[in-house]
Structure 1
Amino acid sequence: MSACGLDFGTSNTTLGTVRREGPELAALEADKVTIPSAIFYRRDGEAEIGRAAISAYVEGVEGRLMRALKSVLGSALLDEATPIGRRRIKFREVIADYLREVKRRAEAAAGTELTQVVHGRPVHFVDGDPEGDRRAEDALRDIAGEIGFTDISFQFEPIAAALDYERQINSEQIALIADIGGGTSDFSIVRLSPERHAKTERGEDILANDGVRIGGTDFDRFLSLGTVMPLLGFRSPMQRPGLDVPSGYFHDLATWSSINRLYDPKTMRDIRQVRREARQPELLDRLIAVIEEERGHTLAIDVEGAKIGLSDAPQSDVSLGWIEPGLAAEIGREDLVRHTDDLATRIAQRIGRCLDQAGLAHGRIDALFLTGGSTQLAHVRSAIVAAAPEARVVEGDTFGSVGIGLTVEAARRYA
């Protein structure tokens, strides 16, 4: 069958194919069914994706790494051009290059051409901007057509996760689906049962659907701004009383999708001028070193790794000896909570809105189905569980539930 479910995520991507025995995620990188949403362009223009892309960057191969590609959808960045070797290409072309290769690998694994796709999408690409949501979905539809899909439709990511969970139950229940991904947090309240699973039209079973543009990359950004960027001059004073070093450089450096902006020669000239007027120029020297060596993604990768490490250990420091001998950012679990607790609170508040939308008290939720990498953060998990404390907590496939659910939907729509 030529139908598939594509979960193009901010951090990771999966693609499921419809098989006779049921939905199956395709191996996209060696035997791995998840692949990082990353692409690396070598100086000659050749591209690598996924773990190979990150490895090429870490190993010092000359070129440009791009991650969190999905986060530019719905923003003006989508049609901005970025230099790749001697040419400039738009971000929508970058996304197309990445997804084209994902599709090619899935087709090789499935042994058939894939022409029909149910594309996952967050409830809101952009908060409070319906027009931005429309532009983002239209862009994904256009890109899917460019890379060879002929039948293209969409499903909300938390609904897809609900379809995966529904395959596991043997009685009717009301489930709150919490999908905390790399770029967005999405929630659905859905009535599920084995009998309902066979229906093709499920509109009446969706009791509420909402989301907020907060995800794992935001936790990375806030943690970086709170622990690493001050070592490079963030919030340090200028010589002129009452002024701090401009913060925009550090926000770009802490944001996956904005890092490459800093490599523009004009930006470097501006930073050097700021350094001359800074009260602590030695801190700006560290920032300049990172940008001159185009190592912004190294910082982002290390901060992300520290965040993940704090799930298992109370301390997860980031070594910055490559910037300056002996330099390190000391990061403890309490730092993660302090710098990102507001994000967890906002996620929990959105669940409250979802319950209000459904007209349900939290005690009416039978199951709380958790999926997405950021549900592994203890304080995020606690905030979500507190919103429906009486519900049974069910662990989904952290990175695969949405892709499986989209594939279930693809089988229904295109069978």
Structure 2
Amino acid sequence: MFIGFDYGTANCSVAMMENGTPRLLPLEGNSPFIPSTLCAPTREAVSEYLWRHFNIKPTDQVGEQLLRRAVSFNREEGIDVEPGDLRFGRAALDTYLEDPEEVYYVKSPKSFLGATGLRDVQISFFEDLVCAMMANIKQQAEAETQQDILQTVIGRPVNFQGIGGDKANEQAESILTRAAKRAGFKDIIFQFEPVAAGLEYESTLEKDSTVLVVDIGGGTTDCSLIEMGPSWRNKEDRRASLLAHSGCRVGGNDLDIHLAFEQLMPMFGKDSTLQRGIAMPVTQFWNPIAINNVVAQSDFYASANRAVLEQLMRDASEPEKIARLLRVHRETLGYQIVRCAEELKISLSERDNAHIDLPIVQEVLSANVTSQQLADAIANPVAKVSELVNEALAQSATKPDAIFMTGGSARSPILRALLESTLPGVPIVAGDFFGSVTSGLARYAEKSFR
């Protein structure tokens, strides 16, 4: 059996074909979408859990070395890795929120794929993270279908990272391939996510059209200019229909991070000064919320940084704010701050003002944000999206007949207004914000594996 697999930055989903129509399969309760999150008692528990409870072994010496270190660490710490210790999706988030200091939590491992400067052991660990998530999703899908799922088409962005080029993309695709094989898939094909979304939209067209597909996901934004319609629908080789591609590592997570930085981090000391009137170092307020940056997270949560923060608090003109930042360091609360920013962003897609309460240990902080403040905060990532659209249009020198928007952040009125101003008069069609890519991948899988 085959499925389309959207291993997303924000959410994951899979779909099968049923009577010629994609059907998204439930992965967490009745929901077909499972947040791309994982929680474990320790970082090392992930690798041991794969081996001990999923019966998934390493496939190379680096992976074996990582597993041996993990088992040794957990044994020395007196930690028994039991069934159910590895949690995914909303269950992972709930576990993290209950006691952030006592668990290992990761959101959006896809954000790290293709990152430069990674050591072999880091790449192997990311492979374990992805493999664990894929194995869990495969198990849930097989429980629903009562069939072994051995073939899959996995979606991928045009570019996983903003830097690194082809080498970074090859590294990311290699991690996904090895993880999927270890999770039990035998035949694996990749398809660009915006192309997959376009295939789903194509199924609704009654005449041939040139469509600009803008897929604004959690970690990346991709633009594809595609010829589609009845005369293209049944062709297996669609290379001639792809007129242009552009993409980079900017997406919904970046909008959340920029909003958190501008509107929430001032409560933790951003924009404040030392007693001598010197501005606080900006990186101390960016790094804890840069959840898609391995180096930034490592630098902020390093034990050596605690002493730096303590000194900043002693020298601060508003020490109570830096005390909150210390709590963020101690309790690993960066994810919570970004999550609150995401809730603000979603609320502001429907109204002009939004309020959020942010619990920090025994204190509850409150913030009120307007749609204009959101627009100001995310101006930089929005400008990058604009560059991608213009790049795709320049590659083909063709004006589209329609714009098809998909991805969670496609709901943003700010991004919709951007496309309206870039291509005035071109109709904008909104697809299933979360399911279009998955459905398109299932349609492509049917053509590939039938």
TM-score, normalised to structure 2, is 0.84
Change (3 A) 1:173 1:233: same
- Give the C-alpha shift of residue 286 in structure 1: 0.9
Query: Corresponding residue for 1:195?
Result: 231
- Counterpart amino acid of 1:392? P
Pick one of 400, 404, 413 that aligns with 2:435: 400
Query: Corresponding residue for 1:318?
Result: 356
Change (3 A) 1:257 1:207: closer
Confirm or deny that 1:210 pairs with 2:209: no
Change (3 A) 1:260 1:52: farther
Gaps of 5+ in 1: 83-88
Pick one of 165, 173, 179 that aligns with 2:201: 165
In structure 2, C-alpha distance between the alignment counterparts of 1:8 and 1:148, rounded to whole Å: 15
Q: Contact 1:72–1:78 (CA<8 Å) still a contact in 2?
A: no
Q: 1:73-222, aligned counterparts within 5 Å?
A: 73-76=113-116, 90-128=125-163, 129-222=165-258
- Give the C-alpha shift of residue 263 in structure 1: 3.9
Change (3 A) 1:253 1:410: same
Query: Corresponding residue for 2:327?
Result: 289
Change (3 A) 1:7 1:29: same
Q: 1:240-255, aligned counterparts within 5 Å?
A: 243-255=278-290
Change (3 A) 1:209 1:410: same
Q: Contact 2:290–2:297 (CA<8 Å) still a contact in 1?
A: no
In structure 2, C-alpha distance between the alignment counterparts of 1:270 and 1:104, rounded to whole Å: 45
3-state SS of paired residue (2:205): coil
Q: Contact 2:246–2:388 (CA<8 Å) still a contact in 1?
A: yes
In structure 2, C-alpha distance between the alignment counterparts of 1:267 and 1:287, rounded to whole Å: 11
In structure 1, C-alpha distance between the alignment counterparts of 2:20 and 2:311, rounded to whole Å: 63
Query: Corresponding residue for 2:63?
Result: none
- Give the C-alpha shift of residue 76 in structure 1: 4.3
In structure 1, C-alpha distance between the alignment counterparts of 2:171 and 2:233, rounded to whole Å: 31
- Counterpart amino acid of 2:24? L
In structure 2, C-alpha distance between the alignment counterparts of 1:73 and 1:257, rounded to whole Å: 10
Change (3 A) 1:21 1:130: closer
- Give the C-alpha shift of residue 53 in structure 1: 1.2
RMSD: 2.2
Query: Corresponding residue for 1:16?
Result: 15
Gaps of 5+ in 2: 43-79
In structure 1, C-alpha distance between the alignment counterparts of 2:31 and 2:434, rounded to whole Å: 11
Query: Corresponding residue for 1:25?
Result: 24
* Residues 357-401 of structure 1, C-alpha deviations (whole Å, 9 max, x = no match): 1121xxx31111110111111111110222222222211100000
Query: Corresponding residue for 1:53?
Result: 92
Change (3 A) 1:228 1:80: farther
Query: Corresponding residue for 1:42?
Result: 41
Bigger mean CA deviation after superposition, 394-403 or 384-393: 384-393
- Give the C-alpha shift of residue 36 in structure 1: 0.7
Query: Corresponding residue for 1:86?
Result: none
3-state SS of paired residue (2:29): coil
Q: Contact 1:17–1:110 (CA<8 Å) still a contact in 2?
A: no
In structure 1, C-alpha distance between the alignment counterparts of 2:447 and 2:250, rounded to whole Å: 31
Q: Contact 2:288–2:301 (CA<8 Å) still a contact in 1?
A: no
- How many percent of aligned residue pairs carry the same amino acid? 31
3-state SS of paired residue (1:93): helix
- Counterpart amino acid of 1:39? L
Q: 1:217-228, aligned counterparts within 5 Å?
A: 217-228=253-264
In structure 2, C-alpha distance between the alignment counterparts of 1:109 and 1:268, rounded to whole Å: 47
Query: Corresponding residue for 1:85?
Result: none
- Give the C-alpha shift of residue 250 in structure 1: 1.9
- Counterpart amino acid of 1:271? L
Query: Corresponding residue for 2:77?
Result: none
Query: Corresponding residue for 2:104?
Result: 64
Change (3 A) 1:77 1:8: farther
Q: 1:297-336, aligned counterparts within 5 Å?
A: 297-320=335-358, 322=360, 325=363, 327-336=365-374
In structure 2, C-alpha distance between the alignment counterparts of 1:80 and 1:301, rounded to whole Å: 30
Bigger mean CA deviation after superposition, 33-42 or 249-258: 249-258
- Give the C-alpha shift of residue 226 in structure 1: 0.3
Q: Contact 1:187–1:354 (CA<8 Å) still a contact in 2?
A: yes
Change (3 A) 1:269 1:189: same
Report the count of equivalent residues. 405
In structure 2, C-alpha distance between the alignment counterparts of 1:31 and 1:396, rounded to whole Å: 21
Q: Contact 1:347–1:384 (CA<8 Å) still a contact in 2?
A: no
In structure 2, C-alpha distance between the alignment counterparts of 1:8 and 1:266, rounded to whole Å: 35
In structure 2, C-alpha distance between the alignment counterparts of 1:309 and 1:77, rounded to whole Å: 37
3-state SS of paired residue (2:159): coil
Q: Contact 2:347–2:354 (CA<8 Å) still a contact in 1?
A: yes
TM-score, normalised to structure 1, is 0.91
